[in-house]
A and B are shown apart, each in its own frame.
Chain A
Amino acid sequence: MQLSPRREVGEFRKRYKWMALTAIVVFSLLIARLAQLQLVQHDEWARIARENITKTISLPATRGILRDARGRIIAENRPSYVVYLTPQLLTPEDVERVAELMNLDETERAALQRRLDEIPAHRRTHQIEMFGDIDREQLAALETHRTDLPGVDVVPKPARTYPYGHLGAHAVGYLNEVSAEDLERLGADAGYRAGDVIGRMGVEKGWEAYLRGHRGYRRVLVDARGRRQREARGFGIAHEEVEPPTPGHDLVLTLDMELMTSIERAFAGHPSGSVVVVDVNSGRIRALYSKPSYNVNSLVAGMAQADYAALRDDPFRPLIDKTIYESYFPGSTFKPFSALAALDQPGFDPHQRVECIGYYQIGTDRKRCTSAHGEVDMRHALVQSCNTYFYVLAERVGLEPINTWARRFGFGERTGVGINSEARGFLATREWYTDHFGRFRVGDTMNTAIGQGNTRATLLQLALSYGALANGGTLYRPQLIESIREADGTLVEELPPQVARRIAIPEEHAQIIASGLFGAVNEQSGTAYEARVVGGTVVASGKTGTAEIQRGSTRRDLDPRRAWYFQRSHAWFAGYAPASDPEVAIVVLVEHGGGGGRAAAPIALRVLQDYLGERTSASASSPAASPARSPAPRAPSPRTTSASTSEGR
């Protein structure tokens, strides 16, 4: 058992060296790895470590409030609660738990899981809005378990609400959540995030940049389980960085919601149409009414597919903004502009009479009039809406001057109202007719002169052009926003009226048109005479119109039992009041309403009476006020006996 130790141990000597060398190599490799982590990749790891302990709490900005011209609230924010989830801090059990507390069904659970899975890695430490506007039970359940679910935050967040619901929906617009496509389209710089809301239509969309404000945030330190760490101990991070949100600007609209309400009331008997009222001395829009409408509040919350489909497929087209987006044949409401074009021709005599026998023969074509008006001059032709007079006029004047005058009044160009997609309208030229129908015929000019043909206009264009007729030739740009204010009411910017163009109208020409429009409403032979408000105090001037529906333009998919309605003509009234000193211009379109005098004029005159009558009676401390409003041009007594009071067919 005894050894010879030295010799024996010496045998291993070589191997010790190899082992020591191996050990040093292995430790060197470890050091190399640590150098990689600590020196080469340091920045990346440091970033992750910083993200680990910071949690960014989003502080939503309050959206600006919309008020009407009288200070009534059109859109405001009510308190609601939304649920934010921080994916980084959620275990699968936590997600289960949340689903349970929120009382989600199977599909909702699946949707939640899908949304969570879609969140990119760099956003997982952020709060993501998952549920908007939770109900009281959900709120209570989540609040009770608040401490065990650090990845769940219930945050009060204002929800948009529209006290007027569907009234003015197209003009006011609505909000809903930004979609993934929106986020991509807008880009990161726009500052939108999943869960944010964005204006979808009307002022909410057009003035989004002013209304939304800027989000704020608060960065807090959290531990591995997401609990807030209150003690500030350096760690190279400011303990609580806070940037308060900047609320959006409030907007004062030019609309008058009481006027809108009265329009709604006056429109009760008709299923579809629209009304525009503008201030003739500023271009400020007092009413933009499109019927049928929809309740914007239901769109804020997110509408069910079926409900949306019902809106989309409704033959009365509730989703279409009929004041701006849609354009129509203006019908006889266009006649004043044809008349002005004629008056501008050297040697044209407005007092020269034309014999109307109920139609006008041109070659083999017999062009109809509304009735046999007998001998009419220009004024009477406007009062009674005689087509024959304008056929003759068109023959003499030609297409170009009519188009030129229409263009001066803003037809065929966008008004620049700044919301929704605005239709340009259309004025057909000689070239256009040649291109489309092979040749240009004098009949085309005749149709143009009576607002049929291929001329198209929006209600807004028409209202502004009548405003220019009323104020002596100043065409205003439409104005929907009166002023921009801070949330505390401080004025940021007052938006002044803008003149688009001043149209030189000789005084005597203006007189003839004004007299004709006055007569149409206030003379027994006038087309709108029957539509006057019984006991009304407001004297209006205006022009009725009845626009034929283009054949083949009706929808094929309609129930035949209902299709007849959609073949009916559109009823128009365009005018202004008070006749002697105009304040507002109004355009009413009753879709498929039939005759303008029967369907549209009563609405317009009722609305004008409601809107202006109140003020006249209020300011009428002197009883002479109302009678004094009779217009300057005294209408000559009607001579024609064949005049029908309505141009309806």
Chain B
Amino acid sequence: MATVRTFRDQFDWPLFVTTCAIAVLGVVNLYSATSASGALTEAYLQQIYWLTLGAGVATLVAAIDYRHYERNAWIIYGGGIALLLLVFLLGTSIRGSTRWINLGGFSLQPSETAKICLIIALAKYLHHDPKTEGRTLKDLVIPGLILALPMGLILLQPDLGTGLLCMFVFGTIMVLTKLKIRSLVTLALAFVFSAPLAWNYALHDYQKNRVRAFWAQLMGEADDRIIRTIGWHSHQSQVAIGSGGFWGKGFMQGTQNQFRFLPDQHSDFPFAVWAEEQGFVGTLLLIGLYAFLVVWGLRIASTAKDRFGAVTAVGVTALIFWQAVINLGMVSGVLPVVGVTLPLFSYGGSSVLTLMIGIGLLMNVSMRRFSF
């Protein structure tokens, strides 16, 4: 009996409710988003399966004391890297990038799971790092290498969005663990100055085009040609959102969605469907849920018992935050188009599973704030 009561006291209801709310809205939205595109009309069912499976996995992840993860962190990290390497051996290519491994009916996207592995590895390293004073650039070498390995492999696929995401999560963790402001500024400057190099040598043409289209549209200089070609996604997405207005066009009534003007409406642009059909009211609700989730995640981190728990919680929260911000930014036209999903809201098995593991980790840290 005592255990049960403890469990009820310890269980993080706000985290659970917020997660469920986003996921449920996501499924509802997915039903509308895919209703018009013949091949995908069953996607919302798939999503329910994945969410159910994810819930199971999350429960498992939450049930096992996270100190076990701390102990086996390098194994977990190694596993993540191994999966990334497998992509190059067994990967299937979709639209020019090799991101998936086919596991008998289910395509796994190792770049998704690698994000969790990276967070755990960084948490492990920082847990044992004795430094409690401000960090300098020198102290970033080893964490930097921990980041560089998976990120490099991800960028090779190529998956620019996930690669950048890993970097942002890393940066957030470093900021938390007392990176000196001076070092942070140096890093930021290095990032800015490496941009032209990246533009010239690292970016693919399609990626450059997205940035060009983004810039033209943001500056209001996009002519019809740009809109019709490289700027199509972003333009139609803004049309969808803007035409939604305050109250939205109503469930299943979004013309941009129903007449198939939104590409990738289920994976990358579900928010445009949501904003079109539910309007500014729906937009506020969903963004509010994400904001709450992020703030709550940070609260969990702040109450964590140890560094591993804190860093893990911040890592997962950062993952949710950056994914949400990048996706919303791209959908609303203030960021270039990169393939980053809206956490728990977008369709996709790997994405759902990864985030559910993340939520499981948060729950784990949250529930053990009073123990040991």
What string of 1s and 0s marks CB contacts (under 8 Å) between B235-249 and chain A?
010111111111001
Across-interface contacts of A46 in B (CB, < 8 A): 242-243, 245
B22 to chain A, nearest CB (A): 14
Partner of B240, one of A16, A49, A236: A49
Comparing A29-37, A323-331, A584-592, the segment that makes contact with chain B is: A29-37
Taking the complex as formed, is B253 at the interface, i.e. its CB lies under 8 A from any CB of chain A?
A: yes
Across-interface contacts of A42 in B (CB, < 8 A): 242-246
B306 to chain A, nearest CB (A): 4
Taking the complex as formed, is B307 at the interface, i.e. its CB lies under 8 A from any CB of chain A?
A: yes
A positions within 8 Å CB-CB of B: 1, 3, 5-6, 8-9, 11-13, 15-16, 19-20, 23-24, 26-27, 30-31, 33-35, 37-39, 41-42, 44-46, 48-50, 52-53, 88, 91, 121, 124, 221-225, 229, 233-236
Whether A37 and B241, one on each chain, are in contact in the complex, defined by CB atoms closer than 8 angstroms, is yes
Partner of A16, one of B245, B255, B284, B302: B302
What string of 1s and 0s marks CB contacts (under 8 Å) between B283-310 and chain A?
1100100110011001101101111001
B positions within 8 Å CB-CB of A: 127-128, 132, 172, 175-178, 223-224, 228, 236, 238-246, 249, 253, 255-256, 258-261, 275, 279-280, 283-284, 287, 290-291, 294-295, 298-299, 301-302, 304-307, 310, 314, 321, 325, 328-329, 332-334
Whether B325 and A38, one on each chain, are in contact in the complex, defined by CB atoms closer than 8 angstroms, is no
Whether B239 and A19, one on each chain, are in contact in the complex, defined by CB atoms closer than 8 angstroms, is no
A5–B66 CA distance with the chains assembled, in angstroms:
14
Q: Given A8-B132, A9-B307, A38-B280: A234 and B253 within 8 A (CB)?
A: yes
Partner of B305, one of A5, A23, A30, A88: A5
Whether B325 and A26, one on each chain, are in contact in the complex, defined by CB atoms closer than 8 angstroms, is yes
B20 to chain A, nearest CB (A): 20
A236–B277 CA distance with the chains assembled, in angstroms:
13
Partner of A53, one of B238, B241, B255: B255
Q: Name which residue of chain B comes closest to A23, CB basis.
A: B294
Partner of A19, one of B176, B223, B240: B176
Partner of B291, one of A16, A27, A223: A27
Across-interface contacts of A221 in B (CB, < 8 A): 259
Q: Given A12-B178, A15-B178: A3 and B307 within 8 A (CB)?
A: yes
B271 to chain A, nearest CB (A): 9
Q: Name which residue of chain A comes closest to B311, CB basis.
A: A12
Q: Given A1-B128, A11-B132, A45-B239: A35 and B291 within 8 A (CB)?
A: no
Across-interface contacts of B307 in A (CB, < 8 A): 3, 5, 8-9
Q: What are 25 A-B pairs at a CB distance below 8 A? A: A9-B304, A9-B307, A9-B310, A12-B177, A16-B176, A19-B314, A20-B295, A27-B290, A27-B294, A30-B332, A33-B333, A34-B275, A34-B287, A35-B280, A37-B242, A38-B283, A39-B245, A42-B242, A42-B246, A45-B238, A46-B245, A52-B261, A53-B255, A221-B259, A223-B260
B330 to chain A, nearest CB (A): 11
Q: Name which residue of chain A comes closest to B283, CB basis.
A: A34
Whether A52 and B256, one on each chain, are in contact in the complex, defined by CB atoms closer than 8 angstroms, is yes
Q: Given A23-B294, A31-B283: A48 and B243 within 8 A (CB)?
A: yes
Partner of B284, one of A8, A23, A31, A229: A31
Whether B177 and A235, one on each chain, are in contact in the complex, defined by CB atoms closer than 8 angstroms, is no
Partner of A12, one of B290, B302, B305, B329: B302
Whether B295 and A37, one on each chain, are in contact in the complex, defined by CB atoms closer than 8 angstroms, is no
Whether B255 and A38, one on each chain, are in contact in the complex, defined by CB atoms closer than 8 angstroms, is no
B359 to chain A, nearest CB (A): 17
Q: Name which residue of chain B comes closest to A15, CB basis.
A: B176
Q: Name which residue of chain B comes closest to A29, CB basis.
A: B334
Across-interface contacts of B253 in A (CB, < 8 A): 233-235
Across-interface contacts of A35 in B (CB, < 8 A): 280
Q: Given A27-B291, A52-B259, A229-B259: A41 and B302 within 8 A (CB)?
A: no
Partner of B275, one of A26, A27, A38, A124: A38
Across-interface contacts of B329 in A (CB, < 8 A): 30, 33
Partner of B298, one of A16, A91, A229: A16
Q: Name which residue of chain A comes closest to B224, CB basis.
A: A121
B232 to chain A, nearest CB (A): 9
Closest 3 CB pairs of A and B: A45-B242, A49-B243, A5-B306
Whether A225 and B260, one on each chain, are in contact in the complex, defined by CB atoms closer than 8 angstroms, is yes
A6–B325 CA distance with the chains assembled, in angstroms:
31
Whether B261 and A37, one on each chain, are in contact in the complex, defined by CB atoms closer than 8 angstroms, is no
A259–B249 CA distance with the chains assembled, in angstroms:
68
Whether A12 and B224, one on each chain, are in contact in the complex, defined by CB atoms closer than 8 angstroms, is no
The residue in A39, A91, A224 that gathers the most chain B C-beta atoms within 10 A of its C-beta is A224
B137 to chain A, nearest CB (A): 18
Q: Name which residue of chain B comes closest to A13, CB basis.
A: B302
Whether B172 and A19, one on each chain, are in contact in the complex, defined by CB atoms closer than 8 angstroms, is yes
A234–B255 CA distance with the chains assembled, in angstroms:
10
A457 to chain B, nearest CB (A): 58
A235–B325 CA distance with the chains assembled, in angstroms:
30
A32–B249 CA distance with the chains assembled, in angstroms:
20
A632 to chain B, nearest CB (A): 80
Further contacts, 7 of them, CB under 8 A, given A45-B238, A52-B256: A1-B128, A12-B178, A31-B283, A34-B280, A34-B283, A34-B328, A50-B243
A44–B291 CA distance with the chains assembled, in angstroms:
29
Whether A9 and B305, one on each chain, are in contact in the complex, defined by CB atoms closer than 8 angstroms, is yes
Across-interface contacts of B260 in A (CB, < 8 A): 223-225
B321 to chain A, nearest CB (A): 6
Whether B306 and A3, one on each chain, are in contact in the complex, defined by CB atoms closer than 8 angstroms, is yes
A236–B236 CA distance with the chains assembled, in angstroms:
19
A13–B314 CA distance with the chains assembled, in angstroms:
12
Q: Given A8-B132, A30-B287, A45-B241: A39 and B305 within 8 A (CB)?
A: no
Across-interface contacts of A235 in B (CB, < 8 A): 249, 253, 255, 258
The residue in A27, A42, A53, A225 that gathers the most chain B C-beta atoms within 10 A of its C-beta is A27
Across-interface contacts of B304 in A (CB, < 8 A): 9
A246–B368 CA distance with the chains assembled, in angstroms:
80
A46–B236 CA distance with the chains assembled, in angstroms:
11
Whether A236 and B249, one on each chain, are in contact in the complex, defined by CB atoms closer than 8 angstroms, is yes
Across-interface contacts of A124 in B (CB, < 8 A): 224
Whether A38 and B172, one on each chain, are in contact in the complex, defined by CB atoms closer than 8 angstroms, is no
Across-interface contacts of A8 in B (CB, < 8 A): 132, 306-307
Across-interface contacts of B280 in A (CB, < 8 A): 34-35, 38-39
Across-interface contacts of B249 in A (CB, < 8 A): 235-236
B361 to chain A, nearest CB (A): 16
A20–B132 CA distance with the chains assembled, in angstroms:
22
Q: Name which residue of chain A comes closest to B172, CB basis.
A: A19
Q: Given A11-B178, A27-B291: A41 and B242 within 8 A (CB)?
A: yes
B2 to chain A, nearest CB (A): 24
Q: Name which residue of chain B comes closest to A87, CB basis.
A: B224
Across-interface contacts of B243 in A (CB, < 8 A): 42, 45-46, 48-50
A119–B50 CA distance with the chains assembled, in angstroms:
48
Whether B246 and A39, one on each chain, are in contact in the complex, defined by CB atoms closer than 8 angstroms, is yes
Whether A33 and B298, one on each chain, are in contact in the complex, defined by CB atoms closer than 8 angstroms, is no
A66 to chain B, nearest CB (A): 42
B184 to chain A, nearest CB (A): 11
A15–B223 CA distance with the chains assembled, in angstroms:
44
Across-interface contacts of A50 in B (CB, < 8 A): 243, 255
Q: Given A30-B287, A38-B241, A48-B243: A222 and B259 within 8 A (CB)?
A: yes
Across-interface contacts of B242 in A (CB, < 8 A): 37-38, 41-42, 44-46, 48-49
Whether A52 and B239, one on each chain, are in contact in the complex, defined by CB atoms closer than 8 angstroms, is yes
Q: Name which residue of chain A comes closest to B177, CB basis.
A: A12
Across-interface contacts of A9 in B (CB, < 8 A): 302, 304-307, 310
A39 to chain B, nearest CB (A): 6
A252 to chain B, nearest CB (A): 48
B258 to chain A, nearest CB (A): 7
Q: Name which residue of chain A comes closest to B329, CB basis.
A: A30
